[in-house]
Amino acid sequence: MINPLIDLIKIQLQNDLVKVVPKAQWHGMPLEQVENLKVPCVAIYGGDITFLPIHQNRSRDQDCREFQQELWIDLMGKSNAQVEQLTSLIMGLISLNQQIWLADCNQLLSDSAHHYSSSTISTRHRFRQIQIVSASPKHDGDKVRSRLRFCAIGQLEMTQLAPDQATLIKTIIATGTIGQVQNSQTKSDQITGWKTDIDSNGNEESSNDEN
Q: Please give the DSSP secondary-structure letter assigned to residue 20.
A: T
Question: What pLDDT score was predicted for residue 54?
Answer: 67
Neighbours of 19 (CB within 10 A): 6
Q: What is the mean pLDDT of each run of 10 residues along the chain (211 residues)?
A: 93 96 97 95 97 72 90 97 97 96 80 76 91 94 94 92 54 40 38 48 53 47
C-alpha span between 204 and 206 (Å, rounded): 6
Question: What pLDDT score was predicted for residue 191?
Answer: 37
* DSSP secondary structure string for all residues of 52-116: EEEEEEEETTEEEEEEEEEEEEEEEESSHHHHHHHHHHHHHHHHHHHHHHHHHHT---TTSTTEE
Neighbours of 184 (CB within 10 A): 13
Total number of domains constituting the chain = 1
Question: What pLDDT score was predicted for residue 197?
Answer: 54
Question: What pLDDT score was predicted for residue 110?
Answer: 54
State the residue range of the domain holding 97.
3-210
Phi first, then psi, for residue 92 (nearest 5°) are -65, -45
Question: What pLDDT score was predicted for residue 16?
Answer: 97
- Which CATH number do you get for residue 193? 3.30.2000.10
Closest CA to 206 of 177, 178, 176, 168: 168
Question: What pLDDT score was predicted for residue 113?
Answer: 61
Question: What pLDDT score was predicted for residue 2?
Answer: 92
Q: Checking DSSP bridges between strand 41-59 and strand 62-77, what pairing results, if any? A: antiparallel
Q: Which residues pair with 51 in a beta bridge?
A: 67
Question: What pLDDT score was predicted for residue 198?
Answer: 52
Question: What pLDDT score was predicted for residue 177?
Answer: 40
pTM of the prediction?
Answer: 0.73
